[in-house]
Each structure stands twice: as structure tokens, then as C-alpha cells.
Amino acid sequence: MLAGLLGGLAFLFSGCSVFSSPQNTFAPAGEVAHDQRWLFMLTMWFAIPIMLFVELGLLVMMIVFRKRRGHEALPKQVHGNNALELGWTIAPALLLMAFVPFVVGGIVELGNTPKDAVVVEVNAFRFGWYFGYLAPDGTLVEGDPSSVSDPGPGLYIPLGKKVELRLHSADVIHSFWVPKLAGKTDVMPGRTNHMWLKGDRLGDYAGQCAEFCGLSHSLMRFHVKVVTQEEYDRYIQCLVTGEGCDEFSGLSVRAAGD
Amino acid sequence: MAATSIPKRMSFPQAMREARAAGATYQGIWSWLTTVDHKRIGVMYGAAAFFFFVVGGIEALLIRIQLTAPEQSFLNPDQYNRIFTMHGTTMVFLVVMPMGAAFFNLLVPLMIGARDVAFPRMNAFSFWVFLGGGILLNTSFFTGGNIFAGELGAPDGGWFGYAPLTLKAYSGGHGIDYWVIGLQILGIASLAGAFNFIVTILNMRAPGMTLFRMPVFVWMTLVTSFLLIFAIPVISVALFQLTFDRAFGANFFNVSAGGTPLLWQHMFWLFGHPEVYILILPAMGIVSEILPVFSKKPLFGYPFVVFSGVAIGFMSWGVWAHHMYTTGLGSVANSAFGISTILIAVPTGIKIFNWMATMFAGTLNLKTPFYFSVGFIAMFTIGGLTGVTHSIVPSDYQQQDTYYIVAHFHQVLFGGAIFALFGGAYYWFPKFTGKLMNETLGMINFWLIFIGFNLTFQPMMVAGLMGMPRRIHTYPSDYGWEFWNAMATVGAFTIALGVLVFMVNFVLSLRKGEASGDDPWDARTLEWTIPSPPPAYNFAEIPHVHSLDDFWHKKYTEDSEGRPVPLPAGASDTAHANGHGDGHGIHLPSPSIMPMIAALGFPIIGLGLVYVNDTHQVWSWLGGGSLYLLMRPLIAVGAAIMVVGLYGWAFEPATEE
């Protein structure tokens, strides 16, 4: 029954229209977001039965043990039960400990940047983003910045490749978040944070700043475009030489809302 | 007589004596301003906190109206940021914390069989400092220019005030200054209250009331007070640093000068996480009092409930960085704080199971306080379980800073703390007024709030999982969030209606509620042994305590099967003797205006500090007139007032001869 419930939940989140969103964490398009959803659902296997037990337990007790008219006898005075109480101290503790390997494993996996990753420089400022790439000759080339009204060219990443993001902030704390590809990492001023992600499906994925950064925080949106290796190479070529950019220019004027 | 007497000039000491005499009459406004009676201070704490609850609630409704549909411009981004900052700040520091203080004040001395708190005037001081700080904080709304044109001056950095966003370079104006100074002042109030309750609980218990005969609520007060005295200094230091950065150009958080923004986060959450338990432990205490009374059974596993509360207190110091998983702390720190966060679920779980076991096989008296307490368990459990999902660090990277988090902590702080506080209000109302609150209105109140709560916050959980971040003033129309946001807005107004019903019920019951008698619920703790409302001196005769739930055992004995058998009236001579004496010969501390005068100094000093670098316009209204003042001297004026208050306080006799 539980499996059905959880499966139904996952289905609803990915299928039904009120449950669909370009930023839906339940419709992952990359390895990191996929693993994160899996781990969240794993937690639900533990959390939902306990929730049902408590909520239904309370409801049943309210009905069964309610004071009835003409029923004046007082209940037996139970002061406690050490064995029972030790049980519900130790059992949840052991159950919870079962999560530790997943937690630590996940932290280490996401914390260690893959060695063969494509490196991208992410720059955040109030209120926009721009992205820098390594050209074949090792120099840094940068795309145009986004702004509150212009979504900019977005971040291009090659399909199926692990991409290391180096996060830099020019002013206050921001947070880089593309829900369908990976959970967020804060972009701190004065230090470089790292994260990695991988796009497993071609597409255009919405992201936005997830750390409150002032007046137009809500409008600090951006896009990540998962493209084929060839298209990625052509984009880098466009940034380096300024040629062949026509196929990319149309994208930058698309509304941020799609 | 009064008409014929010619008023004479009195000497100052004479005037003070007359004022104290007037205060001691328990009538008129003067008696409230000078009161040192813990019950009256509790009432004032409760009234002020409820006022701020309404203010914070209106802010919440404004936020909900703005977010009802996508791309709305009911509020502009600037107004939105200021209003959500004040909503969070108000609800934490001006509502739930002082509501806790209100219940401590009203109940702790009564529950431990004392005539007042250990330091009655410091208690009054604590309240007036709180009120001054709260008013100062909210004054900021009026300082942004023309408020009638919607120009607000309130802080705009979020209730967590993350540096460097809160530095002068990114948040000009004085909103953040009001926030920093306001919180600093509120911290003083909390510290004064916390020390007072620790000394009261440790030193002033009635004979025979050992620590393990104390009601759980008193235990939770003790734990909360200890958390306060260790947590408040941490945020005080952080606030001083921010003040120095903003006012005097220090560089604690200024990155370009080598400062570290993460320092603020560590300090803030090292305070902020114990703070979460400061907010919830009093609520757990209230529920632990209500459930046994309405189940007609003792609390299941009293030592487990007490020790798990103490364990939560200790463990709350080891989980602060779970607010910072995404800041790049590194794998070791994230793992350690992930595991400690997993573990803090254990003592919380113990409490939930023990409360359920208390209800099990009881005779459940389904009255409003009980409904709110069960609602507390039901909602707090969801809050706790969603809390466990935050300890799963890798998947929390997705949920951090989304509406899932907003839903989670409202589940804990509204579904938890506020539910329990409503329950407590219904439960103890008869004790302090001698009247019962109306049950029908109580049920309407509960169901409106319960349904409204679920309509508001469960959809937020979905919106968060669907990728909606926190603290955004608007969102695009095709992101799939509008259905959930519209639902949340409907829920928020349902809650507001519920709060309105509570206010109506409170006023109606106060005016013509059914008489309650001394012990309407057949309760277990000492406050129910004395008349309702209690006399100024609480206990005519200090009770002698022989067991946990002493009052119950004076009313009932147990047969061989463990079922309670009522003792014949009068069998226990102390059961009804307590508090019914005439109170002659009891020395109570005299009323004093001095704590209020001393407290008045703080907001004045604060105003001077907010404008310490300003020599120009500080106020304008209606787009026309302006007020130009040099504000810095206010620091000296406030300090002088405080010294006068403290001097008078020190030299005034504590009791009349």
C-alpha cells in the first residue's frame, strides 16, 4: 500500500498539470537531481508510515476513548512503562542510523568534484548571472550577463558530461539552483564554492537565485541549456571568435518564464 | 472630602510612597505601570504579544495577497521584502518568545507554590524593556518617507539578516539599524526574564517540591531559560559586530576588507537553533500539562518527558550548521551536522509517543484545550518528520531555501507553538478570570485554525518541492505554482477568521462567561488549589508537597487495580485550605515605577544609536513636513533616564514598613 502511495505521489508530481513546473524537483533531468529525488523518496518510506501511525492513532483514540455520557468511571492510572519507553527511544534511533551511510555517501559524492569534468565559471551579481568557459586554448571566454528583464544566453553544458561549476559572487550571497539538474550551492563573496551536475536529457532548464539577495532577488532567473557536444563546441567557438552565433542569438531573447 | 482638600506639594519621596500605595490598590492604570505582581506582568506580556501577533498576522496576510496569483503588484518588491522581514522578526521575537514569557510569569510561581518570582522588580523591568524594544522595532515602518504613499522604512534583510546584504553598502536607510538595535534590546529583556525564572525555580519551590515533583511545564521553563542565557549573548555579539560594521565602518563582514560573511551565519544560527527550541519547549510544557488533565491519567513516563526535554536543550547546540549545508562548509562538517540533526529527532519522538501513551485508554474530555493539544501533536509530528528530511543532507540541497522549508517551520512554530499557546489560553483562562471560555466558540475557533492551517501550509510543501524558492515577491504564470499559492491564501484568511473568533470569545467570556470555580478541569497542579482569580499573594498558606501531581493525590486515592477513587471532601485538610485564608501578615513586594523608568532608557539610547551618524532629516510625513534633529545626544538622554531609574530602584525600599 505504501509503495502505491509513494509511487502515486511521485507520479502526481511528475505527471499531473498542477504538479508540473519547469523547476519541479520531482522531474529530474540529470544524475544529481535524480539521486536527490531518490534519497528524498527513501526518507518518505520512513516518514509517511510514522506520520500515518501518529495521525490515525490520535484520531482513533479521540473516538474510542472519548468520555461518554453516564460513563463516570475513571481510567486506570498508568504512570509509565520503562521497557516500552526505552523501546521507542532505541528503535527510532537505530532506524534513523540506517540513513547515515546514505547521508555521508551522498555528501561525499556531491562534495568531490569529478576530475574529468568540464569546468564552467559561474558569476553572480545583483541581479543577474554570466557564465565563463574554457576555450580550447585555455583562455577564459564569457557569455553576456543576464539582467532582471533579459534572461541572457544562459549556461550551456554538454549532454551527459559531468560539469564542475566554480561559483563566484561580486557582491552579496546568492545561490545557484537548477532544480531539474541539481540542488543548490551558495555563491559566496570572497570565496569560491564548487558543485557539479550532469545533464542527461537535452533541453532548456530553468533556474533561479535561491538566497535572498535584495530588491530584485525574485527576478534573478537564468537558464541552463543541455546541448550536444557538437553544439556546445560551436557555442564556445561563437564566444571565442564571435562567428556562427546566429543559431544561439535567438535563445537569449526568449522569455524567462518557459 | 476629596473636593474640599487643597492639593499640597509633596516631597518627592512622599510622592513616590503615595504612588506605590496607589499601585498597591490594584486599580487604575497606575497600578499596572508600577506592578511587580508576576500575574499582572504575565497578563501584560500576553496582551503585548497578542497585539504583535495581530500585527505579524496582518503582515502575513499582505504577503499572501501578493502571492495569491503570479505577476501581481499588490506590493512592490521593496515593500514585500520589508514586510516579510518584519513578519518573521515579529513572530519570533515579539510573539512566540514573549507569549512563552507570559505563560512563565502567569504560571511558574503558582505551580511551584511561591508568592512571586525571585526578583519581582527585575521581572517588571524585563517586560518594559521588551515592550520598548518591540515598539522601537516597529517604529521603523514610519521612517522610510511618506508611509501613506507606501514608503516603508522597516528592515529589509530577512529575519536572519545575512551579511553582507545587511551592510550599509547593500541596505541603506535605517531599517537594518532599527532591527539590530531592536533585537539587542529584546535580548536584554529575555536575559532578565531568564535569570529570574532560573533563580525562582531553583530557590522558591514550596517545601517538598523536589525537582522531580515539578510540573513538566516548570521543567521546560527551566530548560528554556538556560537556553536563553547561553543563546542571547551569541546573537548580542553578532549584533554588536553588525552595528560596528554599519555605524563605525568596522570590517567584520565586509568581504573587500577581509571580513567573512560566514561568520555571521555561524553566530546567527548558533543562537538561532537553540532559539527554535526556546520557542517550542514552552509549548511542549503546556501540552504536557493539558493532556493528562483531559485524559484523566498521569503523564505517561514523566522522567522520559523531562529528560528528553533536557536532552533537546543540550543537543540544540550541536545542530546549528544544518541551516548552512549549501554554503560550502565541506563534507566533514556537513556529515557531522547531518548526523546530529538526525539524532535530535529521537528525544522529540519520545515526547510524541509519551503524549500518545498518555491519551491511550484514558477518559478523554474533548474540550477546546484538549483539541488544541492534540492538534499540536498532529501538526508538530509533520513538522518533526519534515525536519528529518532536512537531515538527509544531499536531498536537502534541493529543499534548502524553498517553500518546503517555509512549510516545515510553520508546521513546527504555528502547528506546534501557536496551537499549544491557544490551548494554554483556553486551559488557564478560568484560573485568571474565574470564568470559562465559551466552548462552542472554542470549537469554531479550533476548526477554523486547524483547517486554515492545513490549507495554508501543506500546499506550500508541494510548491517547495516543485521548485518555488522562499522570499520571492512574485513568480511567473507558467511555473505551476499558482494553484498552491491561491490555496495557501484562502487558508491564511481562514486562520485570520479563527483568530478573530478567539478575540470575540475572549472578550465575551471575560464579560459574561460561565463561572468556573477554582478547579474546573479536575486538574493536577498547585495553581488549581487556590481561588480563581488568585489573590495577590497567591497562597495564603505555603503548600507542602508530597508527590508529583500533589493536588490530584489529595483528591483521589487509587484502588488495588490502579483506578482512582475520589477521597471524601475534607479528608485531606490541605486540599482546600490553600489560598482561602485572609492573607493577613503576608509581605508582598511594593509596586515600583522604577523598573519602567530604567527600561525607558533603552529605546531612547537605541534611537540615538540608530541615527548616530545622522545630522539631517530623520522624519517626514505626508510628503510635506519634515523633522530635523540631531539624534546622537539621545544616547546620553536615554542613559541618564536609565541611571535615574536604576538609582531609584536601588534606594527604594522593597517592601513598605
Span A203-246, pLDDT tens digits: 999 999 999 999 999 999 999 999 999 999 999 999 998 888 88
* Residues 6+ away with beta carbon under 8 Å from A202: A159, A226, A227, A228
B338 neighbourhood in chain A, CB within 8 Å: 103-104, 107
- pLDDT given for residue A72 in this prediction: 72
Q: Where are the alpha helices (DSSP H) in B362-481?
A: 368-391, 393-399, 403-412, 419-433, 439-465
Q: Is B349 on the interface with A (CB under 8 A)?
A: yes
List the 37-56 stretch of A: residues with Cβ below 8 A of B.
37, 39-40, 42-44, 46-47, 50-51, 54-55
Q: Is B350 on the interface with A (CB under 8 A)?
A: yes
Interface test with A, best of B364, B474, B484 (most A CBs within 10 A): B364
Span B199-225, pLDDT tens digits: 999 999 999 999 999 999 999 999 999
Span B429-479, pLDDT tens digits: 999 999 999 999 999 999 999 999 999 999 999 999 999 999 999 999 989
Share of chain B above pLDDT 70, in %: 91
Contact B398 A96 (CB under 8 A): no
- pLDDT given for residue B587 in this prediction: 76
- pLDDT given for residue B352 in this prediction: 96
Could you tell me which CATH number the domain at A118-244 has?
2.60.40.420
The answer to whether residues B373 and B291 touch, using CB atoms and an 8 Å cutoff, is yes
Q: How far apart are CA A15 and CA B104, in angstroms?
A: 50
* Res. B81 pLDDT band, cuts 50 70 90: very high
Q: How far apart are CA B113 and CA B320, in angstroms?
A: 37
A189 neighbourhood in chain B, CB within 8 Å: 164, 255, 261
Q: Is the pLDDT reported for residue B579 higher than 50?
A: no
Q: Is the pLDDT reported for residue A254 higher than 70?
A: no
Q: Is the pLDDT reported for residue A256 higher than 50?
A: no
Q: How far apart are CA B596 and CA B605, in angstroms?
A: 15
List the 62-121 stretch of A: residues with Cβ below 8 A of B.
62, 65-67, 71, 73-82, 84-85, 88-89, 92-93, 96-97, 99-100, 102-104, 106-112
Interface test with B, best of A60, A88, A100 (most B CBs within 10 A): A88
Residue of A nearest to B363 (CA): A67
Contact B327 A188 (CB under 8 A): yes
State the smallest CA–CA distance between residue A212 and chain B in angstroms. Answer: 6
B399 neighbourhood in chain A, CB within 8 Å: 25, 40, 183
Contact B395 A18 (CB under 8 A): no
Contact B365 A67 (CB under 8 A): yes
Q: Is A244 on the interface with B (CB under 8 A)?
A: no
Contact A51 B302 (CB under 8 A): no
Q: Which of A37, A50, A74 sits opposite B563 (nearest CB)?
A: A74
Range of weakest confidence among B141-145, B338-342, B348-352, B640-644: B141-145
Q: How far apart are CA B595 and CA B645, in angstroms?
A: 6
Q: How many CB atoms lie under 10 A from the CB of residue A128?
A: 24
Residue of B nearest to A98 (CA): B342
Instruction: Work out the mean pLDDT of chain B and round it to a whole number.
Output: 91
Span B600-629, pLDDT tens digits: 999 999 999 998 887 656 566 666 666 666
- pLDDT given for residue B632 in this prediction: 84
Residue of A nearest to B356 (CA): A58
Grouping H, G, I as helix, E, B as strand and the rest as coil, residue A157 is strand
State the smallest CA–CA distance between residue B564 and chain A in angstroms. Answer: 6
Span B465-490, pLDDT tens digits: 999 999 999 999 989 999 999 999 99
Q: How many CB atoms lie under 10 A from the CB of residue A251?
A: 15
Q: Is B473 on the interface with A (CB under 8 A)?
A: yes
List the 179-218 stretch of A: residues with Cβ below 8 A of B.
179-180, 182-186, 188-191, 193-194, 206, 208-218
Average pLDDT over residues A18-25: 86
Nearest to B86 by CA among B142, B184, B187, B157: B157
- B352 class by beta-carbon count within 10 Å (0-12 exposed, 13-18 middle, 19+ buried): buried
List the 168-207 stretch of B: residues with Cβ below 8 A of A.
170-171
Contact B391 A99 (CB under 8 A): yes
Q: Is A57 on the interface with B (CB under 8 A)?
A: yes
Q: How far apart are CA B426 and CA A215, in angstroms?
A: 42
Q: Outline where DSSP puts E strands in chain A.
A: 118-125, 128-134, 140-142, 155-158, 162-169, 174-178, 182-187, 193-198, 203-208, 221-227
Nearest to B423 by CA among B437, B409, B410: B437
Q: Where are the alpha helices (DSSP H) in A98-150?
A: 100-111
Residue of A nearest to B163 (CA): A172
- pLDDT given for residue B570 in this prediction: 55
Instruction: Work out the mean pLDDT of chain A and round it to a whole number.
Output: 89
List the 127-166 stretch of A: residues with Cβ below 8 A of B.
none
Q: What is the ipTM for the molecules in this complex?
A: 0.92
Radius of gyration for the alpha carbons in chain B, expressed in angstroms and rounded: 25
B89 neighbourhood in chain A, CB within 8 Å: none
Q: Is the pLDDT reported for residue B399 higher than 80?
A: yes
Q: Is the pLDDT reported for residue A113 higher than 80?
A: yes
B474 neighbourhood in chain A, CB within 8 Å: 218-219
Distances (CA, A) of A186 to A43, A52, A170, B29: 24, 35, 13, 53
* Res. B560 pLDDT band, cuts 50 70 90: confident
C-alpha cell of residue A217: 532577488
* Res. B582 pLDDT band, cuts 50 70 90: low
* Res. B576 pLDDT band, cuts 50 70 90: very low
Residue of A nearest to B165 (CA): A172
- B280 class by beta-carbon count within 10 Å (0-12 exposed, 13-18 middle, 19+ buried): buried
Q: How far apart are CA B414 and CA B453, in angstroms?
A: 8
Sign of the Cα pseudo-torsion (A124, A125, A128, A130, in order):
negative
Q: How far apart are CA A163 and CA A165, in angstroms?
A: 6
Task: Give chain B's count of helices (H) and strands (E).
Answer: 22, 4
- DSSP notation for A175-233: EEEETTTEEEEEE-BTS-EEEEEE--S-EEEEEE--S--STTGGG-EEEEEEE-HHHHH
Q: Is B247 on the interface with A (CB under 8 A)?
A: no
The domain spans of chain A are 1-6+26-62+83-112, 118-244
A80 neighbourhood in chain B, CB within 8 Å: 300-304
Radius of gyration for the alpha carbons in chain A, expressed in angstroms and rounded: 25
Q: Is the pLDDT reported for residue B417 higher than 70?
A: yes
The answer to whether residues B233 and B305 touch, using CB atoms and an 8 Å cutoff, is no
* Res. B237 pLDDT band, cuts 50 70 90: very high
Query: Could you tell me which residue, A1 or B332, shows the higher pLDDT?
Result: B332
Span B273-327, pLDDT tens digits: 999 999 999 999 999 999 999 999 999 999 999 999 999 999 999 999 999 999 9
List the 478-507 stretch of B: residues with Cβ below 8 A of A.
478-481, 483-484
| A168 phi, psi to nearest 5 deg | -125, 140
The domain spans of chain B are 518-580
* Residues 6+ away with beta carbon under 8 Å from B510: B433, B435
Q: Which of B346, B377, B563 sits opposite A54 (nearest CB)?
A: B377
- Which helix (H) or strand (E) segment holds residue B618: the answer is strand B617-620
Nearest to B362 by CA among B437, B296, B419: B296
B394 neighbourhood in chain A, CB within 8 Å: 35-36, 39, 102-103, 106-107, 109-110, 183
* Residues 6+ away with beta carbon under 8 Å from A195: A110, A113, A164, A165, A167, A176, A182, A185
Average pLDDT over residues A142-161: 93
Q: Is the pLDDT reported for residue B335 higher than 50?
A: yes
Q: Is the pLDDT reported for residue B15 higher than 80?
A: no
Contact B296 A74 (CB under 8 A): yes
Residue of A nearest to B265 (CA): A173
B352 neighbourhood in chain A, CB within 8 Å: 54
State the smallest CA–CA distance between residue B335 and chain A in angstroms. Answer: 6
Contact A24 B480 (CB under 8 A): yes
Query: Could you tell me which residue, B85 or A249, shows the higher pLDDT?
Result: B85
Span A51-60, pLDDT tens digits: 999 999 999 9
